[in-house]
Amino acid sequence: MESLSAGTVALLAFLFFVAAALYSSVGHAGASAYLAAMILLGVPQGVMKPTAFALNILVASLVGWRFARAGYFRWRLFWPAALASVPATFAATLLPASTVSFKLALALALLLGAGRLAMAGDELAPLMRLSFSAPAAMAAGGIIGLLSGLTGTGGGIFLSPIYLLLGWAPMREVAATSAFFILANSLAGLAGTLSSSQPPPAIMLAWLPSVALGGWVGSSLGLGRVAPVVLRRLLAAVMLVACLKLVSG
């Protein structure tokens, strides 16, 4: 990370702030956007995942606390998915993934995240309304955990659409569930990367205030009535560019 210029570090801090603000408005922590920014600015691949996990932990903690304090967290929605996802995330970080498989998994995460941002308005209308199923949530959580460990994301971009489109919970309850789900997965992912001798870079400390401020701003929007739809779609475009750069490089 010593090769990053001061200008690049500052630009990443700004991009991370924007990402945290936009993602936290829907209960997410921003990992897929952090990864997109790092790809675009040439951050070494080896430190991308631990950096994204570490930033996620801070933002998800803040966002989860604020949504829970406002009364939107539901334990029954959280525990089945997290129970299966946490060990899967940890295990996936230990897998000897090749550069090609990492790029493909990350491209999928970026593509799905961009689609989620571009297509969603203030709310996602359910495709169907089903009663919540703990076994189904556990199955989804296990699959999401594998993707989280491979890509360095917290899994919220996969979990939220499932809960919303199946009509398992309204938007703010899903946001609260996603925040704690991301926190659990990110802790497991960071533990896995640390055990693989991939610590976050020291320069990450310079980015923590940016994502904390972004998480506070975004969670305030999510708990209020403002939905930054246009900005989310601009961010989706950036993520698509990063995805194209990733698969073409």
pLDDT in tens, 62-98: 999 999 999 999 999 999 999 999 999 999 998 876 7
Residue 138 lies in a domain: yes
**Looking at the 3D structure of the chain, how many domains does it have?**
1
Q: Regarding predicted confidence, which is higher, 241 or 24?
A: 24
Please state whether the predicted TM-score (pTM) of the whole model is above 0.85. yes
Q: Regarding predicted confidence, which is higher, 9 or 110?
A: 9
Instruction: With a cut of 90, say whether residue 128 has pLDDT above it.
Output: no
Task: Encode pLDDT of 170-189 as tens digits.
Answer: 888 988 999 999 999 999 99
Residue 196 lies in a domain: yes
Residue 40 lies in a domain: yes
Residue 229 lies in a domain: yes
pLDDT average, residue stretch 114-118: 73
At 128, phi and psi to the nearest 5?
-155, 160
Residue 1 lies in a domain: no
Residue matched to tokens 């659990």: 184
Q: CB neighbours of 216 closer than 8 A, spacing ≥ 6?
A: 62, 66
CA angle 87–88–90, rounded 5-degree value: 65
Residue 127 lies in a domain: yes
Domain that holds residue 170: 6-248
Which has the closest alpha carbon to 56: 164, 162, 134, 149?
A: 149
Q: Regarding predicted confidence, which is higher, 127 or 138?
A: 138
Instruction: With a cut of 70, say whether residue 229 has pLDDT above it.
Output: no
Which has the closest alpha carbon to 180: 88, 82, 51?
A: 82
pLDDT band at 213 (very low <50, low <70, confident <90, very high): very high
Residues 18, 213 contacting (CB under 8 angstroms): no
Q: Regarding predicted confidence, which is higher, 159 or 114?
A: 159
> For residue 249, with 0-12 CB atoms within 10 Å meaning exposed, 13-18 middle and 19 or more buried, which class applies?
exposed
The pLDDT, as a whole number, for residue 104 is: 80
Q: Share the mean pLDDT of the chain.
A: 86
* Distance separating alpha carbons of residues 174 and 113, to the nearest angstrom: 16
